[in-house]
């Protein structure tokens, strides 16, 4: 039986948006400064891979997909 999981879909969307923002940062090379520290570009590569993976897994969970 299919049950809607709206909070799981919302979390998946937030992670997807985070990944997209990091992709934009990679292509536009804009700087992120927190206090007196600048965030290195390599953080954005992790910021694409990890949230995109989490978003994908949350979408699978919300759909009820199992298996490989």
Boundaries of every domain in the chain: 6-63
User: Phi and psi at residue 57, in whole multiples of 5°?
Assistant: -65, -40
pLDDT at 62: 86
Output the average pLDDT for the chain. 89
Cα separation, 62 vs 3, in Å, equals 8
Contact 46/26 with Cβ under 8 angstroms? no
Q: How confident is the model at residue 5 (pLDDT cuts 50, 70, 90)?
A: confident
User: Phi and psi at residue 7, in whole multiples of 5°?
Assistant: -70, -30
pTM, two decimals, is 0.81
pLDDT digits (tens, 9 = 90+) for 41-54: 999 999 999 999 99
pLDDT at 41: 92
Contact 12/55 with Cβ under 8 angstroms? yes
């Amino acid at each position: 039986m299919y049950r809607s999981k709206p909070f799981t879909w919302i979390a998946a969307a937030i992670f997807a948006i985070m990944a997209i923002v990091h992709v934009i940062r990679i292509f536009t090379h804009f700087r992120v400064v927190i206090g007196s520290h600048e965030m290195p570009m390599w953080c954005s590569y992790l910021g694409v891979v990890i949230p995109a993976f989490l978003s994908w897994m949350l979408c699978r969970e919300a759909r009820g997909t199992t298996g490989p």
